[in-house]
Structures are given as C-alpha cells and as structure tokens.
Structure 1
Amino acid sequence: MAFRNDDDKKAYWKENLSLLAKLLIVWFAVSFGAGILFVDVLDNIHFFGFKLGFWFAQQGSIYVFVALIFVYMSKMKAMDKRYGVNEE
C-alpha cells in the first residue's frame, strides 16, 4: 500500500478524518440526542410496542452504530480505490 505522492497521502487522511467526524456526529446525535436529550419527546411515539426514546437508548443506537461501521467500510473501499491504495 503506497501513495503516489505526499499530496495524495495528505488528501487521503484529510478525507478519512472528515468521514470519521461525520459518522461520529451521526452516532452522537442518535445515541446521546435520541437516547438522552430528546427522550421525553420521542417517548410520545411508539415503536414495536416500546416508547421510541427508550428504544433508541437501549437498542437503536447500537443498530445505528453497526450500520455506521458498514457505511465506513463501504466509503473506505471506494476511497482506497480512488487513491490507488486498495489491497485487491
């Protein structure tokens, strides 16, 4: 795995950190926001028989985290190909 030049290396890591920041913001918004901050508002909505705020605090944030792992994996594969550092 080698970059073509230093500019590609810097651009790759800048894009990688940007992607990580965006995904962490989504995870924070779901886990902290939906599970703690907005729980009272979300509890007025029922989801599979549970209050939505409770569901996000107990289950939803975990599901979102797992989904974000797959999003990160997909985006990184595309980024690796774009910068010529894919392992295939």
Structure 2
Amino acid sequence: MNMTKGKANAYWKINLRYLLVLLFIWFLVSYGAGILFKDTLNQIKIGGFKLGFWFAQQGSMYVFVILIFVYVRLMNKLDKKYGYDE
C-alpha cells in the first residue's frame, strides 16, 4: 500500500469527482423530480400514483440505494487501479 503523493492526489481527485456526480444525480432526483418538476411529472401515473408524488415519497430512496451500489462498483474499480484491491 505504498502510494506516491501524486498517485494519492489523483486517487482522491477521481473519488471526489465520483461523489460530486452521484450527489448531483441524487439532488436532481430528490429535489428536482420531487419538488421542482412535480407538477409536470404528476401528469404521468405509475400504479395509480402521480409520478411527482412517487418520486417524492419512494423514488428518491430507490435512486439513493442504486447510487450506493454504483459508488461501490466505481470505488472497487478505482481501488484496483491504484493498488488498494487487497
């Protein structure tokens, strides 16, 4: 686990980029779909519920769980690339 400072900086730079992108996606889904665009999305129904309501109540949680799995997969690849895959 001996990393040079340059490799460590590159590792954290990529890690932070992953975090920012995934958090932005979650923000768009939770705040955007559940609050900002709910009136437009409410014109679509899923299982008898308006889509904007569904995103506000359920959808953002499902997307958050999916994003956790995506983050784990991305970090496993990043760890392997930088030698942390023990």
Q: TM-score w.r.t. structure 1 length? A: 0.95
Which whole-Å CA distance do the structure 1 matches of 2:25 and 2:71 have between them?
12
Distance across 2 between alignment mates of 1:65 and 1:16: 18
For structure 1, the residue ranges without an aligned partner over 5 or more in a row are none
Superposed displacement of residue 49, structure 1? 1.3
Number of residue pairs aligned between Structure 1 and Structure 2: 86
Corresponding position of 1:35: 34
Aligned to 1:77: 76
Quick one: which amino acid aligns to residue 38 of structure 1? F
Partner of 1:14: 13
Percent identity for Structure 1 against Structure 2? 58
Gaps of 5+ in 2: none
**Over the residues paired in the alignment, what is the CA RMSD in angstroms?**
0.8
Residue 44 of structure 2 corresponds to which residue in structure 1?
A: 45
Which 4+ residue blocks in structure 1 deviate beyond 3 angstroms? none
TM-score between the two structures when normalised by the length of structure 2: 0.97
